[in-house]
């Protein structure tokens, strides 16, 4: 990027803003890409350049940009009731309507909803509720939370402790005690020689069982997992993985928490990833596409049995002492409700399944490229992992910035693509994307990978 001129938006951004998941010193050197507007699957920067947004922002703008129905609903609700809270027996129509509609489409056995504002907050809240219920059951020691390496669950102190990515922990003194991580269910890097995916699933379930036994089942409260590990590399688990894992959890009275922040609302080709992978969650976390990211809102959906535990603990301790000023904010709830209506009216889950299958087919064509180690995905989410050695499945040293370079090359071809762990180029376009737009996305990514291969041959990164 060009050096910002004095008093330009780029220069003022550098002067005043701290950016998440960004190296501050590097940001001062290169400045931001400033996005000014969006329409459909495209966004435009302040220089007028158009980009196909292959990650739907952060896997969240399901309806694409410029959905006027959501803007109108937000404006109408602001005029009617711009804000009210949910504390101390207060409620309002949008919160009631959203909870009812959301639970009508949620998988069994989910029956109650608690609203927050982000996936991080919702995961944090889920852990607090689990601790609260177990304390009410006279099992206060049953607090440990098990998650997966490379799984992403947020950035609050608790949700970052759940996250299995070192860059979320570094410098923060995390993870906190009582947060444990098991092996990533990824056959490409994790399967032993001669091991089938079924064998891998069996071995990983046995490892989880052994960990729970070693820690003491009376101390382990929940297992939290994304149906597909998204930010950790778009990793699709072996098909029988969750079936085997849930059998272990049931045996030890450990809750199953499905983090559907990214996988939910059609992303995997079903309404929820739990349906795609046979998960029967005690608790489910939703966010992002619940409002197509037009406004922040998230939810913690719980089973009837778990809610009974909340009621019992509430009687014991006098109150459920958690929540947020903006829990079930009326404008956010109204926008989320309208988003769910649009998904249903336009049959976007079926559309995502159909276009997602085409997307996976087109991306598979990249597997023969000398730089591509694995193409993986399900529905409208995928990862293309770049490797130094295809035969040995050897990744580049992270310091070489191969993934970041490929992302920069993508911009030259009108594509915004995000590099994840192991130089995996992540793709999760808006659910409204057409097959023609998928072609454009894949062709642009292919060109960016070609450019990256030429760059590698010139600089030979370690």
Mean pLDDT of the chain: 97
Give the pLDDT score at 460.
Answer: 74
* Burial of residue 233 (number of CB atoms within 10 Å: 0-12, 13-18, 19+): buried
CA distance 444 to 427: 12
* pLDDT tens per residue, range 64-79: 999 999 999 999 999 9
Return the half-sphere exposure (C-beta side, CA atoms, 13 A cut-off) of residue 388.
Answer: 12
CA distance 3 to 26: 12
Dihedral pair phi/psi, residue 390, rounded to 5°:
-65, -40
Give the pLDDT score at 462.
Answer: 59
CA distance 334 to 344: 16
Rg (CA), the chain: 22
Angle between helices 197-215 and 241-251 (to 10 degrees): 20
For residue 140, is pLDDT > 90? yes
How would residue 224 be classed by pLDDT, with cut points 50, 70 and 90?
very high
* pLDDT tens per residue, range 141-197: 999 999 999 999 999 999 999 999 999 999 999 999 999 999 999 999 999 999 999
pTM above 0.85, yes or no: yes
For residue 299, is pLDDT > 60? yes
CA distance 199 to 96: 45
* pLDDT tens per residue, range 307-366: 999 999 999 999 999 999 999 999 999 999 999 999 999 999 999 999 999 999 999 999
Full set of structural domains in the chain with CATH: 33-66+347-459 (3.90.1150.10), 69-345 (3.40.640.10)
How would residue 5 be classed by pLDDT, with cut points 50, 70 and 90?
confident
Overall average pLDDT of the 113-117 stretch: 98
Please give the angle made by the CA atoms of 287, 293 and 296, to the nearest 5 degrees. Answer: 65
* pLDDT tens per residue, range 377-417: 999 999 999 999 999 999 999 999 999 999 999 999 999 99
Distance of CA 162 to the CA centre of its chain: 13
Give the pLDDT score at 6.
Answer: 77
* pLDDT tens per residue, range 15-31: 999 999 999 999 999 99
Dihedral pair phi/psi, residue 9, rounded to 5°:
-55, -40
Q: What percent of the chain has pLDDT over 70?
A: 99
Give the pLDDT score at 2.
Answer: 55
Give the pLDDT score at 459.
Answer: 85
* pLDDT tens per residue, range 352-368: 999 999 999 999 999 99
Give the pLDDT score at 401.
Answer: 94
Q: Across the chain, how many H-helices and E-strands are there?
A: 17, 15
Q: Are 242 and 279 in contact (CB under 8 A)?
A: yes
Q: Are 21 and 385 in contact (CB under 8 A)?
A: no
Q: How many CB atoms neighbour CB 33 within 10 A?
A: 15
Residue 61: name the closest of 378, 299, 294 by CA: 294
Which residue did the predictor score with more confidence, 2 or 224?
224
């Amino acid at each position: 990027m060009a050096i910002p001129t004095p008093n330009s938006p780029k220069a003022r951004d550098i002067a005043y803003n701290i950016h998440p998941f960004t190296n501050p010193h590097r940001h001062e050197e290169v400045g931001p890409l400033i996005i000014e507007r969006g329409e459909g699957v495209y966004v435009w920067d302040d220089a007028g350049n158009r980009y196909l947004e292959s990650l739907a922002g952060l896997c969240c703008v399901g309806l694409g940009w410029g959905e006027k129905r959501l803007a109108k609903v937000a404006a109408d609700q602001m005029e009617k009731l711009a804000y009210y809270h949910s504390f101390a027996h207060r409620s309002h129509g949008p919160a009631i309507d959203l909870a009812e509609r959301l639970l009508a489409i949620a998988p069994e056995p989910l029956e109650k909803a608690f609203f927050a504002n982000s996936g991080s907050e919702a995961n944090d809240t889920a852990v607090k509720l689990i601790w609260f219920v177990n304390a009410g059951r006279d099992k206060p020691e049953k607090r440990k939370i098990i998650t997966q390496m490379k799984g992403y669950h947020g950035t609050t102190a608790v949700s970052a402790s759940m996250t299995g990515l070192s860059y979320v922990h570094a410098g923060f003194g995390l993870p906190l005690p009582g947060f444990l991580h098991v092996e990533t269910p990824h056959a490409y890097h994790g399967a032993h020689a001669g091991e089938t995916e079924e064998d891998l699933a069996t071995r990983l379930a046995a490892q989880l069982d052994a960990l729970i036994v070693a820690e003491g089942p009376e101390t382990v409260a929940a297992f939290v997992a994304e149906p597909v590990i998204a930010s950790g590399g778009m990793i699709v688990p072996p098909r029988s993985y969750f079936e085997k894992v849930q059998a272990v959890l049931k045996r030890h009275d450990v809750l199953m928490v499905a983090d559907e922040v990214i996988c939910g609302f059609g992303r995997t080709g079903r309404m929820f990833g739990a349906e795609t992978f046979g998960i029967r969650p005690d608790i489910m976390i939703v966010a992002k596409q619940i409002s197509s990211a037009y406004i922040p809102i998230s939810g913690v959906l719980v089973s009837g049995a778990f809610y009974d535990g909340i009621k019992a603990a509430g009687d014991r301790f006098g109150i459920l002492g958690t929540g947020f000023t903006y829990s079930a904010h009326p404008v956010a709830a109204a926008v989320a409700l309208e988003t769910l209506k649009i998904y249903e009216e336009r049959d976007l889950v079926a559309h995502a399944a159909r276009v997602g299958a085409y997307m996976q087919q087109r991306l598979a064509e990249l597997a023969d490229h000398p730089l591509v180690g694995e193409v993986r995905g399900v529905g409208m989410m995928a990862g293309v992992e770049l490797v130094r050695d295809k035969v040995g499945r050897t990744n580049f040293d992270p310091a070489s910035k191969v993934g970041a370079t490929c992302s920069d090359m993508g911009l030259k071809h009108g594509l915004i693509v995000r590099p994840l762990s192991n130089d995996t180029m992540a793709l999760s376009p808006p659910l409204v994307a057409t097959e023609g737009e998928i072609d454009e996305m894949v062709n642009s990514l292919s060109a960016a990978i070609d450019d990256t291969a030429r760059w590698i041959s010139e600089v030979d990164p370690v």
